[in-house]
């Protein structure tokens, strides 16, 4: 019985992850097209092909989605920087940072182009 519950939980988690990814990707693509202030939840829903009720299961509003994406991005960067654990090599964290920037260049481009960096830093 516990195996079935585990499999069900894994499937639900995968669906949640997919939905959150679709919403985050939609917001990033919209940020490449227009300023953050002009983007509505409806714009995100339309781009992600997600219902309004599904959006509100995951996020309170557009800002919550944005900050969630930023948190996820920063967590990924922190994980990448800690992955090496090469205390004797001071260059490794810098190399990891640049590798992370290369892997997530679309996110960085959107943050710079949209002025989003100042929003989450303040």
Where residue 105 falls (left for φ over 0; alpha for ψ -120 to 50; beta otherwise) is: alpha
CB atoms within 10 A of CB 33: 12
Helix (H) or strand (E) holding 38: none
DSSP string, 81-112: HHHS--TT-TTHHHHHHHHHHHHTHHHHHHHH
How many helices, marked H, and strands, marked E, lie in the chain? Answer: 7, 0
Q: Could you tell me which residue, 2 or 38, shows the higher pLDDT?
A: 38
pLDDT > 70: what percent of the chain? 71
pLDDT bin (cut points 50, 70, 90) of residue 103 is: confident
Q: Which two structure tokens, joined as six digits, stand for 91?
A: 């260059």
Predicted pLDDT at 1: 47
Integer CA distances (angstroms), 30 to 55, 107, 112, in order: 16, 12, 14
- In angstroms, rounded to a whole number, what is the distance separating the alpha carbons of residues 23 and 48? 5
Show the domains of the chain with their CATH numbers.
2-121 (1.10.357.10)
Residue-wise pLDDT tens digits, 37-95: 899 999 999 999 999 999 999 999 999 999 898 888 778 777 776 765 655 566 666 67
pTM over 0.95: no
- Res. 6: pLDDT tops 70: no
Give the pLDDT of residue 96. 73
Place of tokens 């004797």: 88
Alpha-carbon gap, residue 21 to 97, rounded angstroms: 22
């Amino acid at each position: 019985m516990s195996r079935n519950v585990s499999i069900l939980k894994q499937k639900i988690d995968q669906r949640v992850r997919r939905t959150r990814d679709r919403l985050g990707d939609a917001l990033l693509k919209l940020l490449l097209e227009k300023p953050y202030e002009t983007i509505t939840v409806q714009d995100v829903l339309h781009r992600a092909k997600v219902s309004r009720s599904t959006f509100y299961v995951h996020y309170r509003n557009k800002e919550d989605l944005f900050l969630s994406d930023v948190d996820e991005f920063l967590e990924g960067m922190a994980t990448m920087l800690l992955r090496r654990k090469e205390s004797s090599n001071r260059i490794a964290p810098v190399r990891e940072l640049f590798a992370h920037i290369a892997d997530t260049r679309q996110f960085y481009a959107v943050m710079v182009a949209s002025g989003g960096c100042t929003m989450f830093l303040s």
